[in-house]
Amino acid sequence: MVQAYLILNNIGKRGNFGTLIRSAAAMGIQDIFVVGAEKLRTFGNQVCITARIDYTCWFRQKRFISVSQNTLSKCRLHYWNTLVELKEFLQSRDIKVVGIEIDDKSTALTETDFTNQDIAFMLGNEGTGMNAKQKQICDSFVYIEHFSGATASLNVAVAGGIVFHRYAIQNSKATQKRDGQKYVVQESVAEFEDLSQPNRGREYHRHDPADLSDLDLSFGGLERNED
C-alpha cells in the first residue's frame, strides 16, 4: 500500500504549522518529518518548537504552535538537521518528494496520480514559497487549480489539506466512523515524549547522517536509549 509523509520546513506561522499536522493526521498521514527544529515541547494544548530561523547565524527562536497533544499522539514526529540528510534517507527507501508549489514544472492536482509511489509532501513558506534548498530535493511538483481570479494563492495550510485529501481519495483510504458531529478518534500510534520535563529517564539522539543503513523509520532519525 502506498504511504505518504509530510515534511515541515520553512513554515513561518505557528497556526499553519499546527493545522498542517492536524490535516495530515486526518487524512492518514501520520509520519511527520520536521527539518531544522532542535526540539519540541508540549505545554498543555500547545507545542513549543525551538528552531533555527536563520541557518547562517544560528539564531534560535521559540515558537508555539496550536496543535493538541491528543492529535500529536496520533502522529510520529521525526527530526532532521537538514533537508540534504532527510533526502538521503528518503532516497534509501524510494520515497519521492512532491513539492506543493505553483511552478512552471508543476502538474495540476487533478491530473496527478498518487497511487503508484510512496511520497513525502512538502510546502513552501507562506509569503515567499519554496526556497532553492527545498526545490532542490523535490522530485516533482503539484499545484492546485483555481477557478476564479479572486486570489493569487491559497493559505499554505489550506493548500496542504486539499492535496492530502486528494491523496487519501486516490488511495481508497477507508472513511473514519462518525460519532454525532465528530469522527471517532483512534488509539495513539506512538507515545509522544514531553521534552518539557527533563531527566525522565529517556534521551533522544540523532543518528550520524553518514550511517543511515540501520535507521528505523519508526523513530525517523532518532535513537532512543533507556536508562
Query: Which pLDDT tens digit goes with each residue over 98-147?
Result: 999 998 999 999 999 999 899 999 999 888 999 999 999 999 999 999 99
Query: Which pLDDT tens digit goes with each residue over 21-62?
Result: 889 999 999 899 999 865 444 434 444 444 433 332 223 344
Look at residue 185 in the predicted model and tell me its pLDDT.
80
Contact 157, 19 (CB under 8 A): yes
More confident residue, 4 or 216: 4
* Mean per-residue pLDDT, 201-213: 35
Contact 69, 191 (CB under 8 A): no
Residue that is written with C-alpha cell 518529518 in the block:
33
More confident residue, 12 or 147: 147
Number of helices (H), then strands (E), belonging to the chain: the values are 5, 14
Q: Where are the domains of the chain?
A: 4-183
4-183 is a CATH 3.40.1280.10 domain: yes
